[in-house]
Amino acid sequence: MNESRAAIRYAKAVLDLAIDGKVTDAVENDMRDIVNTISDSKELQGMLGSPVVNGLEKKAALKGIFKDKHAITEGLLNILVDNKRIPMLEDVASKYIVLNEQLKGEGVAYVTTAVPITAGLEKEILEKVTKLTGNKVVIENKVDEGIIGGFILRVGDLQYDASIANKLSNIKREFESSL
């Protein structure tokens, strides 16, 4: 089974538990915290993916980092460590967020730009994405100067990369393949 399908299954199971306990929003906040923490820390990513660090050490580290989380979130952390699936924690958390937003009829459009977007541009993006998806959408802007210019738009599992860095990379690849 590929990692993405496994992550979706774990996320669905967590969502089912959260729905039964009527705590979907609390668990979603935990999942957002997990995604942000892991994506911001190369050291944490390395530790989670390391076969050298044993499960007990990973579990202890995660309990320290993600203390005061909902019992369902703690259960997910324990299950992933016990099943040796902890490297997919960030993916499971992301899938949970997407599934919960779909359940609520909402979505988050992640827009990565080289500079912060203006209120007018944010309104335009909201209108376009709402029209395309048919769902109520909120915009989350991430600033990454590495994309040089343009934007990267991600809604759910769909991504559109119109960044200058991507275009330069494509040109470089075409140039190298033609040599």
> Do the bridges between strand 136-143 and strand 106-113 make them parallel or antiparallel, or are there none, so unpaired?
parallel
Residue 1 has pLDDT above 70, yes or no: no
Give the torsion sign (CA, 119, 124, 130, 133).
negative
Q: Are residues 150 and 63 in the same domain?
A: no
Q: Are residues 16 and 56 in the same domain?
A: yes
Structural domain of 131 = 105-177
pLDDT at 2: 64
153 Rama sector, left if φ>0, alpha if ψ -120 to 50, beta otherwise? beta
- Average the pLDDT over 83-101 and give the result: 89
Q: Are residues 26 and 81 in the same domain?
A: yes
Q: Are residues 96 and 32 in the same domain?
A: yes
pLDDT at 117: 92
The domain total for the chain is 2
- Average the pLDDT over 131-160 and give the result: 86
pLDDT at 39: 86
pLDDT at 103: 84
Counting residues of the chain whose pLDDT is more than 90, the rounded percentage is 50
Q: Are residues 94 and 10 in the same domain?
A: yes
- Average the pLDDT over 126-148 and give the result: 86
**Confidence bin at 132 (pLDDT 50/70/90):** confident
User: pLDDT tens digits for 100-123?
Assistant: 888 887 777 889 999 999 989 989
**Confidence bin at 89 (pLDDT 50/70/90):** very high
**Confidence bin at 158 (pLDDT 50/70/90):** confident
Query: How many residues belong to the chain?
Result: 179
Of the segments 9-23, 51-65, 103-117, which one has the largest average pLDDT value? Answer: 9-23
Q: What is the DSSP annotation of 133-178?
A: H-SEEEEEEEE-GGG-SSEEEEETTEEEE--HHHHHHHHHHHHHHT
From 79, 101, 123, the end of a domain falls on 101
